[in-house]
Amino acid sequence: MSTAYKTVTDIAGPLLMVDGVEGVTYDELCEVELVSGRKILGKVLESREGVAVVQLFESAQGAATEGTKVRFLARAFQIGVSEDILGRVFSGSGRPIDGGPDIVPEKRLDINGVPINPFTREYPDDFIQTGISTIDVLNTLVRGQKLPIFSGAGLPHNQLAAMIARQARVLNREEVESGKAAEGNEGAKESGEKFAVVFAAMGVTFEEAQYFQQEFERTGALARAVLFVNTADNPVVERIATPRLALTTAEYLAFEKGYHVTVILTDMTNYCEALREVSAARKEVPGRRGYPGYLYTDLATIYERAGRIRGKEGSITQIPILTMPEDDVTHPIPDLTGYITEGQIRLDRGLHQKGIFPPVIPMGSLSRLKGKAQGEGKTRADHSGLDAQLTAAYARGSEVRELAVILGESSLNEVDKTYLKFADRFEKEFITQGEQENRSIFLSLAIGWDLLTELPKEELKRVKPQHIEQYLKKQS
C-alpha cells in the first residue's frame, strides 16, 4: 500500500500542492481523500524534489489543507476495457452511471495513448456514405478521417452528428460497379464488418446528452455504442480526461478488436475552456485569448488519435463538434482545430435562418482526404469534377446574389442570372434534405447534374467533356 501524504500546502482552483513527497513521477495518477471521506482523482502536473503539483479531476469543494490525504498510485490514468464496454454509459471520468456493474477489464490502458508511427499508418481512402448530399458529394467523409463540425450556438450540429452516426456506411463493390446503392442501412448489414460508436460529451447540457442517448436507443445503436457523459454541471476539469477515455476505448475496439469506430466528441469548445482554466490556475504564460501556448499540441494529441493502421482490421473516424464563439472561425479553438483535422464541415447561420437543413455551407467546408475516396472504383468517375463544378458555381451564384442586392436583378447579365437561379435551386434541392432522408451517393450525384442544366455549357469548365456527354441531360 502506498503512503498517504497529509502534507497538502496549497489549494487553488483545481490545483493542489503536496509537500514532502518522494518518488512521485510526472503525469502520475493520485487519489485525494477529503476530510468528508469523498475520494477524487488527480494527476501530477509537475514533480519537483519534495513537491508535487496535482490537478484534480473534480471540484475541490470541501477540500482542506488540513486532513486531506493524497495517495500516489504509481501509474498514469488508466481505463479498464473489454468488449463488454459496448452498450454502457460512463461518467466523464470513466465510472459507470447506467446502474450496471463495473467492467471486468480485459486490460487496462493508459488514457494518454501513444502517438501512431506515421510509417505504420494506412492512408484512409474508403468512401463513407453518410446519406447527406453536401457531405457525400462535396466534402466526402473517408473511413479513418477526423472531420469536425464547425458550428455555432443554436445550430443543429447535434442532429447532423446523429444523422452521420446513424447512416454512415461503406458501399460494397457491387453497389459501386452497378452505380446503384441499396436503400438505407441494408448494405451495411450484409458486409459482415463490425461497427461501434463511441460518444463523449463534454460540458453539454443534460438535454443534449439525452438527445444522443435516445437517438442511439431509438435506432438500436446503443448496443454497439459506448457513452462518456460529462454534462455542464459536472466538474470542469473532468472534461480533460473525457475525450481521452473515449479515444482509448475507441483504439481498443478498433485496433485490437477490429471494429470500425465512429467517435463523436462534443463540445470541444468546452474542453478547451477547461484546459484554459487549469492553465490559468497554474499561472502559465498565456497564448492567444488566454488559452495556453500548448493548446495546439494538446488538441493534436486528441485529434491525431484517428485513422487506420497497416495490417489492422478496424478504423477510427472522428467527428468532433465545436461551437465557434460568435461564429468566428478565426477564434483559436476552430483555428487550431482546422490546422490539425482533415478538413471541416461548416454550418452556416444564414442558411439555417432560411430554414435549410442541414445548413452545411460549401464555402469553408472541406474534406482533405476526399481526393482518394472519390471517382472510379470508389464512387463514380465524374464525382470529383462534379464536386468542383458545383462548389465553384454555388460560390459564383452567391456572389451574384450579393451583387443583385445592390444593383437589382435586372442589371445582371444573362450568364449571371443563370448562376443566381442555380444557387437558389442548389440550396433548395441539393443542400436541403430531411433529417431522416438517407440519399445514396448516386442520387446525390444525379441531383447535382440536374442542377448543372441551369448553367450554359461553356461555363462547365471543371467537369470533363465525356461526363457532360454522359450525365448532363439535354436542355429542352
Using the rule CB under 8 A, is 397 a contact of other proteins?
Answer: no
Helix runs in 199-256, H state only: 206-218, 238-251
Could you say which DSSP state residue 254 is in? I
Using the rule CB under 8 A, is 17 a contact of other proteins?
Answer: no
Q: What residues contact 361, with CB distance under 8 A and at least 6 apart?
A: 346, 347, 348, 350, 351
Interface residue with other proteins among 11, 34, 103, 300 (CB under 8 A) is 300
Q: Tell which positions 195-224 bind other proteins, by CB under 8 A.
A: none
Distance between CA 181 and CA 294 in Å, rounded?
45
Using the rule CB under 8 A, is 143 a contact of other proteins?
Answer: no
Stretch that binds other proteins, among 3-11, 107-115, 172-180, 188-196 (CB under 8 A): 107-115
Interface residue with other proteins among 1, 37, 49, 190 (CB under 8 A) is 49
Under 8 Å between Cβ of 359 and 351: yes
| 349-386: burial string, b at 16+ Cβ within 10 Å, e else | eebbeeebbbbbbbeebbbebbeebbbeebbbbbbbbb
Stretch that binds other proteins, among 172-180, 187-195, 256-264, 323-331 (CB under 8 A): 323-331
Under 8 Å between Cβ of 333 and 265: no
Q: What residues contact 466, with CB distance under 8 A and at least 6 apart?
A: none
Under 8 Å between Cβ of 391 and 138: yes
Interface residue with other proteins among 8, 16, 18, 28 (CB under 8 A) is 28
Least gap, CB of 204 to other proteins (angstroms): 25
**Cβ-based nearer residue to other proteins, 13 or 287:** 287
Q: Tell which positions 357-386 bind other proteins, by CB under 8 A.
A: 362-364, 366, 368-369, 371, 384
The residues facing 307 across adjacent strands are 316
Interface residue with other proteins among 148, 343, 358, 359 (CB under 8 A) is 343
Interface residue with other proteins among 205, 411, 466, 470 (CB under 8 A) is 411
Least gap, CB of 221 to other proteins (angstroms): 27
Using the rule CB under 8 A, is 297 a contact of other proteins?
Answer: yes
Least gap, CB of 52 to other proteins (angstroms): 9
Distances 249 to 98, 108, 175, 256, 302 between C-alpha atoms, Å: 17, 10, 32, 10, 13
- Phi and psi at 414, nearest 5°, equal -60, -45
- Phi and psi at 218, nearest 5°, equal -60, -40
Least gap, CB of 357 to other proteins (angstroms): 22
Q: Tell which positions 223-282 bind other proteins, by CB under 8 A.
A: 255
Least gap, CB of 388 to other proteins (angstroms): 5
**Cβ-based nearer residue to other proteins, 213 or 242:** 242
Stretch that binds other proteins, among 89-97, 185-193, 270-278, 342-350 (CB under 8 A): 342-350
Q: Tell which positions 51-90 bind other proteins, by CB under 8 A.
A: 76
**Cβ-based nearer residue to other proteins, 49 or 66:** 49
Per-residue mark of binding to other proteins, 152-191 (x: CB under 8 A): ----------------------------------------
**Cβ-based nearer residue to other proteins, 162 or 360:** 360
Q: 431: closest CA among 235, 25, 156?
A: 156
Using the rule CB under 8 A, is 354 a contact of other proteins?
Answer: no
Dihedral of the alpha carbons of 210, 270, 265, 57, in degrees to the nearest 10: -90
With CB under 8 A, what is the number of residues at the site for other proteins?
A: 82
CB atoms within 10 A of CB 298: 17
Using the rule CB under 8 A, is 107 a contact of other proteins?
Answer: no
Residue 363 backbone zone (phi > 0: left; psi -120 to 50: alpha; other: beta): beta
Least gap, CB of 336 to other proteins (angstroms): 8
Q: Which amino acid is at 208?
A: E
